[in-house]
């Protein structure tokens, strides 16, 4: 049986994040990837220079076309952009249920460009997060969703993950990549589980697309039938290796991408 995953996200013309990173990750991990594009970005390693939103009815049409035909084993959701697109994706998940869905709440780009309108956050919380198997916010995203300051200790990370879980998702993976610790530590929180996943913080500035890559790697694991904890553990190893190999690539003049095909390319 072919493992198939669907990514619902924005397109990155530079190829390091968004739809492009998701499809590269799926391919590297032995999963056939399908896609629903929510927005087009004019983007490179130096930042996001423009955004062209896809109409919400066409986002839904893409979902219906894929989910009515392909046997999708898992879904990853990334950049959505606007409130009506959030609602369209939530409606699609309700129409085509019973697949694990990993929601990466992409709010702001690394360069500071807003990727989800302020008026869409409430809809994300009320309509989409309760449909997610797992949400994967980083520390700034968690703070914005909760309307509080960023967590600065493990206890605060645990407290914020517990509050995010109350939004109705099955699990929260609160990512610590933005912290200043020597380790990159991510916390998985469910109703019955609290587990830290750690990796060394690697000395490179070529980390564009790390969040997209982690969430799509988890989705790939779920598409292969792994449990959530095993999918996260495998994804953490994959992303760490992709960051470690990032400097072997020479892509652009700014913050380059991680190496999605490390260990595969010569």
Given a cut of 90, whether residue 213 has pLDDT beyond it is yes
Contacts within 8 Å (CB) and 24+ apart, 150-155: 150/178, 152/179, 154/185, 154/187, 154/196
Summarised one tens digit per residue, pLDDT across range 138-149 is: 999 999 999 999
Given a cut of 80, whether residue 72 has pLDDT beyond it is yes
Whether the pTM exceeds 0.95: the reply is yes
Q: If you classify domain 4-248 with CATH, what class do you get?
A: alpha beta
Question: Would you state the pLDDT for residue 179?
Answer: 59
Strands 4-12 and 74-77: parallel
Summarised one tens digit per residue, pLDDT across range 194-207 is: 999 999 989 899 99
User: In this structure, how many other beta carbons lie within 10 angstroms of the beta carbon of residue 165?
Assistant: 18
Q: How far apart are the first and last CA of the chain?
A: 29
How far apart are the C-alpha atoms of 4 and 36, rounded to whole Å? 14
Question: Would you state the pLDDT for residue 117?
Answer: 87
User: In this structure, how many other beta carbons lie within 10 angstroms of the beta carbon of residue 10?
Assistant: 28
Active site residues: 175, 207, 209-212
Given a cut of 70, whether residue 231 has pLDDT beyond it is yes
Give the confidence band of 178 by pLDDT, cuts at 50, 70, 90. low
Given a cut of 80, whether residue 111 has pLDDT beyond it is no
Give the confidence band of 114 by pLDDT, cuts at 50, 70, 90. confident
CB-facing half-sphere around the CA of 227: CA atoms within 13 A: 3
Enumerate the domain spans of the chain: 4-248
Tell me the two tokens of residue 25: 């990750």
Question: Would you state the pLDDT for residue 140?
Answer: 94
Tell me the two tokens of residue 90: 């939530």
How far apart are the C-alpha atoms of 76 and 217, rounded to whole Å? 9
């Amino acid at each position: 049986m072919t493992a198939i995953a669907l990514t619902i996200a924005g397109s990155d013309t530079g190829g390091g994040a968004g739809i492009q990173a998701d499809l590269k990750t799926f391919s590297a991990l032995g999963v056939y990837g399908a896609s629903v594009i929510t927005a087009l970005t004019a983007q490179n390693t130096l930042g996001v220079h423009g955004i062209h939103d896809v109409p919400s009815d066409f986002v839904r049409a893409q979902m219906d076309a894929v989910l009515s035909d392909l046997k999708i084993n898992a879904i990853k959701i990334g950049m959505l952009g606007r409130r009506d697109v959030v609602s369209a994706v939530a409606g699609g998940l309700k129409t085509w249920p019973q697949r694990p869905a990993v929601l990466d709440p992409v709010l702001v780009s690394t360069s500071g460009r807003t990727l989800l309108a302020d008026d869409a956050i409430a809809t994300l919380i009320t309509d989409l997060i309760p449909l997610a198997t797992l949400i994967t916010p980083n520390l700034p995203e968690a703070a914005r969703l909760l309307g509080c300051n960023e967590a600065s200790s493990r206890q605060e990370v645990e407290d914020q993950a517990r509050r995010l879980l109350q939004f109705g998702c099955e699990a929260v993976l609160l990512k610590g990549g933005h912290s200043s610790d020597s380790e990159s530590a991510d916390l998985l929180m469910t109703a019955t589980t609290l587990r830290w996943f750690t990796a060394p913080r690697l000395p490179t500035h070529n980390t564009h697309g790390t969040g997209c890559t982690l969430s799509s790697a988890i989705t790939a694991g779920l598409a292969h039938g792994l449990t959530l904890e095993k999918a996260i553990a495998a994804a953490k190893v994959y992303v760490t290796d992709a960051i470690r190999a990032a400097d072997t690539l020479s892509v652009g003049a700014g913050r380059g991408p991680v190496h999605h095909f490390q260990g595969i390319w010569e």
